[in-house]
Amino acid sequence: MNHVAAILGAGVIGAGWAARFALMGWQVRVFDPDPVAAERVGTALENARRALPGLHDSPLPPEGAVAITDRISRAVQGADWIQESVPERLELKRTLYQKVQEHCARDVILASSSAGFTPSALQGPGARRCPVLVARPADPVYLLPLVELAAAPDAPPGTLARARDLLAGIGMAPLLLRAGTEGQIAGRLTGALWREALWLVQDGIATTAEIDRAIRLGPGLSWAQAGPFGARLLAGGEEGLAPALARLGAETRLADLPEASEALARTLAEQSDAATGGVPVADLLRARDTDLVALLRALRGTGAEAGAHLAGFDAARHPPPGDDARPLLTQDRAVPLDWTDYNGHMNEARYLHAFGDATDRFMEVIGCDADYIAAGASFFTVETHIRHLAELHAGARFRVETTLLEAGGAKMHLFHRMLAGETLAATGEHLLLHVSLATRRSTPPGPGIARRLAGIAGAHAALPRPDGAGRAVGQRPG
């Protein structure tokens, strides 16, 4: 079925909605009289095309067409979903809804992105053809799944369920609110944090950069994994939320906190038990650690705050590669928690990851570092062969020793041996070519790298040829 979404208002949130609907296969019509509305929508679409498809392991449907319309009536006629994202002025929204309901279908979902108004306030006392919901997303809408969904008490039965199903169909994770309240859940929580942050700046306690760093290096990561209550529960260990309740009010300057009563303690304990489903705290802690390792390592790949910290720490601790007369030490590390699979050992893709890191380290040793690459040249891998010889499990320490089998012209032929102690866990054979990043064609390396490669190749030629070098897939041992 070809669904149609009407987007009223193409600011950051409205444009994000347009991109989300379009990439999920909906036809999208956008109304916004602002002359730069089309540009904002185009930018959101471009960003969504770059990010959203790779978030999923299943293919997205064919992208729906996006049209910018010059009239509200053209946007909403025949639409299955109308999403309003105009500025937070109540009378503006109510006036808009009156116009919308002159042209929309009776069974359409009319939803507002409002962060501050309830559905009852939005729809007002006037006659209406369809109910008004609040569907407040997180930003960016095309990437983050949360949408807080609320309806007025007099909404027709089934309205919320139908809206929930439609939103779930475009990859959102609807959170149904028990009551229409200004700010919803995420808005009130982020508002409280924002107030505290402003006080810290006002009182001269911290700068904006220090506050952002504090969240990005600590609680922001924990909240992403477990949420504020889940993180507090795990921080309390076997005592659960009791320590947090005892400190209620001690860590904040907010005055309107609930009293630390027995009733609140009982509610927290009951709801925490229900949320964990009876899973032992020890198991929750292990799951938390696995998730945090995955988060931190993902951030390392992008160079974001916590990831940059990890990368800098490791860069200063790289072991020296050793004497050219022996295979060079290119990795010495442990198997991360997020590198294991359903069989309980290191996933096959991670062997390639580790050997790829070893290749990168070898490139640094010969002078093909970040500055050299920035100047316009690098090595590209053209062929790889990996043998899996022994299991490695999370936490196991391993090292990679690298032999340069051949170097000449643009060619660099490496053989990696992955060892856990004296156990050979895997080998990786890699053929690389030096290329110009301008032409993407092979070219001889610079004189410095060529000399370094020749020196290592000459030294390694005197070593015994590594067992397994030159093997083909499926070849019998021996």
pLDDT tens digit sequence for 40-61: 999 999 999 999 999 998 999 9
Average pLDDT over residues 316-327: 90
Q: For 122-158, what is each residue's pLDDT tens digit?
A: 887 765 667 889 999 999 999 999 999 998 888 888 8
* pLDDT at 262 (0 to 100): 76
Q: Which of 184, 206, 228 is the last residue of a domain?
A: 184
Residue 198 sits in the same domain as residue 324: no
Give 140's DSSP letter: S
DSSP for 162-174, please give it. Answer: HHHHHHHTTT-EE
What CA–CA distance (Å, rounded) separates 219 from 234? 13
Residue 147 domain flag? yes
Residue 108 sits in the same domain as residue 17: yes
Residue 27 sits in the same domain as residue 95: yes
Flag whether pLDDT at 261 surpasses 80: no
Residue 169 sits in the same domain as residue 191: no
Q: Which of 184, 199, 225 is the last residue of a domain?
A: 184
Residue 30 domain flag? yes
Average pLDDT over residues 351-365: 97
Residue 241 sits in the same domain as residue 331: no
- Edge-to-edge strands, sheet with 81-84: 66-69, 27-31, 4-8, 81-84, 109-112, 132-137, 146-151, 173-176
> Taking a C-beta distance cutoff of 8 angstroms, is the pair 317, 310 a contact?
no
More confident residue, 180 or 257: 257
Residue 172 domain flag? yes
* pLDDT at 127 (0 to 100): 53
* pLDDT at 2 (0 to 100): 84
Query: And the tokens for 286?
Result: 């292990």
Residue 201 domain flag? yes
Average pLDDT over residues 314-326: 89
Residue 286 domain flag? no
What CA–CA distance (Å, rounded) separates 314 from 301? 13
Residue 411 domain flag? yes
* pLDDT at 239 (0 to 100): 63
Percentage of residues in the chain with pLDDT exceeding 90?
A: 67
What domain range includes position 354?
318-460
What CA–CA distance (Å, rounded) separates 474 from 97? 68
Residue 23 sits in the same domain as residue 171: yes
Residue 118 sits in the same domain as residue 129: yes
pLDDT, the chain, mean: 90
Residue 164 sits in the same domain as residue 204: no
Residue 306 domain flag? no
Flag whether pLDDT at 246 surpasses 80: no
Query: And the tokens for 461?
Result: 């030629």
Percentage of residues in the chain with pLDDT exceeding 70?
A: 93
Residue 176 sits in the same domain as residue 191: no
Rg (CA), the chain: 29
Residue 135 domain flag? yes
Residue 192 sits in the same domain as residue 155: no
Among 278-282, 437-441, 462-466, the minimum mean pLDDT is found in 278-282
Residue 331 sits in the same domain as residue 246: no
Among 96-110, 259-273, 312-326, 417-431, the minimum mean pLDDT is found in 259-273
Residue 174 sits in the same domain as residue 192: no
Number of domains in the chain: 3
